[in-house]
Structure 1
C-alpha cells in the first residue's frame, strides 16, 4: 500500500507542477494578447509534442518533458543595426545573436508589422514578462493561505511536553542529571506535563515563541507563571536560571552548534496543528519570501555540499537544494506517511506553494534568458529614452536585447550544469523527510 501511495504522490505532484507551469505561461499569454502581440504557440513542457490544438492564431499544446514551458511571441528582438533581420559574420558570438534574432521572426506574416513584441512600449513589455512570475506568486499566496488558515501548520504550542529535572547546557541529555547540576526551575516550581501556560509574569501567552522569548529575557528573575491544569488555573513562582541555550538566527532557525547565555526554565513544549489568522499568515509568508531570497543568494555556496553528496556520499543537509525530481520524491514520501489524509494534502499543498514561490523568485533574477532579464532590458530602454528626451537628444530606439544572447547562453549553461548536479544528487543521495 505504501508503494501505491508513493506513486500516487508522485503523479499528483507532476499534475501540480504542470498546472503551475501552465498558470505561469497563461500570465504571459493573456497580457501579450491584451497588448496586441501575436502569439503563435503556447506550450507546456519541452521536447516532442504529445498533444496540440490550434485555436484562432495560437497553437496550444503539451510536450513530453514537464520541466518548463513557453509562449512564442513574434518579434522578440528588434532588427540589427543595419535594419536587417539577418546579419552574418565569422564571429560565433555574432552568429548566436543573429540566430536568435532570425528565430524571433520565423513566424512573422504580412500584416504583423504592428504586432511585434519589441514595438510595444517598454512598460507593456515589462508587464508581459512580469505576468508569468506574478502568476506563480499569486498561486503561491493562495496555496499558503489555504494551508495556514484552513489546514493549519504544525508548530510548538505553550503546553508542557516534558519537564527537565536539572539545568544542563543545550545539546546535553536531560534524562541523566550530573551530580553537581542544579535543579531546573520548572521541576522545582512543580510544572507538570500537560500544563498549558496561560501567562508569564503578567504577559498573556498565546504562542510558544512568545513564551520562549519571555523566558530568555528573564534570567535570574522570580516570575509568576499561570498554568491551566485539569480545567483549573494555578500560579507557580519559578526563579529563571541562567544557562547556555540554543542560539537562533533572525528567522528563528537554530544555529547549528551555537549557544547563547539566556534565561532557562527547563521544559520541552508539545507540538500541535494551529490554524493561523490572515495577518499571521501574511507575516509568515513574508518571512518565507525573505528566507527564499536568502536561500537563492546562498545557492552558489551549496554546490560543494551537493558535489560531495554525489561523489563521496556525504549526507545531504536539511537545507540542500532539491530539483523537481527530488520534490516529486518528497511528495511520494508524504503520501506514504502514516498520517491523516488531511495532513498529507496539507503537506503537498505546502510543497507546491513553496515551488511556486521559488519559481517567482528565480524568474525575477535580472539575467537572460529568464523573465527578469527581459524586464531589465525593457527598463534600461525606458531609462535611455527618458534621458534622451530630457537632454533633447535623438531617440536611441529600442534596446537590442539580442546582443546579450551570448551571455544568456553562458547563464543557461550554468543553470543546466547546476540542474544536472541537483538531479544526480536527488537520484543517488536524496533528501528524505521523517
Structure 2
C-alpha cells in the first residue's frame, strides 16, 4: 500500500508540473496569436518528441525531457543590420553564433507570413507576450494558495490544551521519561488537564495564536482563567523560565546562522533552531485549521514570493552543497534545492505518510504553488534565453524609440537581441549542468521531509 501511494504521489506531482509548464506556455501562445504572431510549435519538454498533434498552423506535443517547454514564434530575432546601416563589416565568431540563431528563427517563415513575425510587433505587445508566460504561473500559484489559505485553511494554535508535559526539559535535551533530574512543569503542578480551555492570562484575553506568546512573556505567579467541562475557574500558576526554540513576532521558529549568515545544520541535514530563555508552562495546544482573510492571504503570498526570490538569489551559492551531496557523499540538507525528480519523489513521500486527506491535499497544494512561484520569479530574471531577457530587450527598444522621438532622430529600429545569443548559450549550458547535478543528488541522496 505504501508503494502504491508513493507511486500515486509521484504521478500526481509529475502531472502537476507538466500542467504548470503547459499553463506557462499557454500564456505565451494565446497572447502571441492575439497579436497576430505565427506560432508553429507548442511543446512541453525538450529533446525527442514523444507525442504530437497538429491543429491548424500549430503543432502541439510532449517531448522527452520535462525541464521546461517552449512556443516557437516565427521571427523572434530581428534581421541583421546592413553594413552601411551600422551593421558589422566582417563576421566575428560572436556574430556568427548570432547569425546562426537568427537563421533558425526564420526556418518556418513562409512568404505569406512576412508580416506575422514577433520582432515586428510594438515593444509593448512583445512585453505582454513574454510576461504572459510567467504571469500565468503567478496566476496559478495565487489560485492554489487562495484555495489553501481561504478554503482549506492553515493550522493555528487554539487556547485549548491538547497535551501536558510532565517535566521541564530544556531545548536540545532528549528525555523519553521524567526522572528526579527534572522538575515538574507548572501545568503538571497546577493540575491542568487535556481539554482545558485557557480564557485569559494575567487579565489578558487569549485569542488562539497569541496564547503561546503570552505565556513566553510571563514569569512567576500568573493568573489563569480556565474553562473545564463548561465551568470557569481562576488559578495562579507559577510560570518558570526554560530554554526553548526561539520564535519571531509571527510565531515562526528562528534558526541558527553562522558568521556568514548561513543556516547551521545537524548531522541529519536539518536546520538547528536558535534558542532563547522564556516563560514556560508545559502544555501543547490543540491546533485546528482556520481560514485566512483576504488580507492575510495576500500577506502570506507576498512572504512566499519574497522567500522564493531569496532562494533564487542564493541558488549559485548552493551549487557546491548539491555537488557534494551528489558526488562526495555529503549530507543533503532539508532546504536543499531539488529538481523535477526530487520534487516528484517528495510528492510520493507525502502520499505514503498516511496523513489525513485534507493535510495531504494542503501540503501538495502548497508545494505546487511554490513551484509556480519559482517558475514566475526565475523566468523574470533579465537574462536570455529566459522571458525576462526578451522583456528587457523590448523595454530597451521602447526607451530608444522614445528618446529618438524626443530628439527628432530617425527610428533606431528593433534591438538586436540576437547579439546576446552566445550569452544565452552559456546560461543554457550552466542550467543543464546544474540540472544533471540535481538529478544525481535527487536519485542517490534525496531530500527527505519526514526523516
Task: Give the structure-1-normalised TM-score.
Answer: 0.89
Q: Is the 8 A contact 1:151 1:343 kept in 2?
A: no
Q: Is the 8 A contact 1:190 1:236 kept in 2?
A: no
Which position in structure 2 is the counterpart of 1:193?
A: 194
Alignment of 1:40-119 (within 5 A): 40-82=40-82, 91-119=92-120
Q: Distance in 2 between matches of 1:312 and 1:38?
A: 48
What's the offset of the Cα at 1:176? Answer: 4.1
Aligned to 1:313: 329
The aligned runs of 1:11-410 (5 Å cut-off) are 11-82=11-82, 91-164=92-165, 169-173=170-174, 176=178, 184-208=185-209, 210-216=210-216, 218-220=217-219, 223-248=222-247, 252-255=252-255, 256-410=272-426
Indicate conservation of the 8 Å contact 1:40/1:72, yes or no: yes
For residues 126 and 365 of structure 1, the distance between their equivalents in structure 2, rounded to whole angstroms, comes to 14
1:76, CA displacement in angstroms?
0.8
Compute the displacement of 1:334 (Å).
Answer: 2.0
Deviates more, 1:336-345 or 1:97-106: 336-345
How far, CA to CA, are the matches of 1:88 and 1:226 in structure 2? 87
Tell me the residue number matched to 1:426: 442
Aligned equivalents of 2:312, 2:71: Cα separation in 1: 26
Distance, in Å, in 2 between the alignment partners of 1:159 and 1:316 is 38
Query: Compared with structure 1, are the counterparts of its residues 385 and 142 closer, same or farther at alpha carbon in structure 2 (3 Å cutoff)?
Result: same
Conserved 8 A contact 2:253-2:273: no
1:220–1:239 CA contact under 8 A, matched in 2:
yes
The answer (yes or no) to whether the contact 1:53–1:61 under 8 Å persists in 2 is yes
Distance 2:358 2:164 in 1: 31
Q: Against the structure 1 CA distance between its residues 2 and 170, is the aligned structure 2 distance closer, same or farther, given a 3 Å change threshold?
A: closer
TM-score (norm 2): 0.86
What is the aligned length? 430
CA positional deviation for 1:132: 0.6
Cα separation, 1, equivalents of 2:222 and 2:48: 69
RMSD: 2.8
Per-residue displacement from partner, 1:181-227 (whole Å, max 9, x unpaired)? 7764444444333333333344443333x2233333x3446544333
Unaligned runs of 5+ in 2: 256-271
**Residue 363 (structure 1) shift:** 1.0
Q: Is the Cα–Cα contact under 8 Å of residues 41 and 58 in structure 2 kept in the other structure?
A: yes
CA distance in 1, matches of 2:282, 2:180: 15
Residue 430 of structure 1: how far off its partner (Å)? 0.7
Shift of 1:146: 1.8
Distance 2:121 2:222 in 1: 67
Q: Deviations over 1:86-140 (max 9, x none)?
A: 9896643222211111111111221323221111121111110110111111111
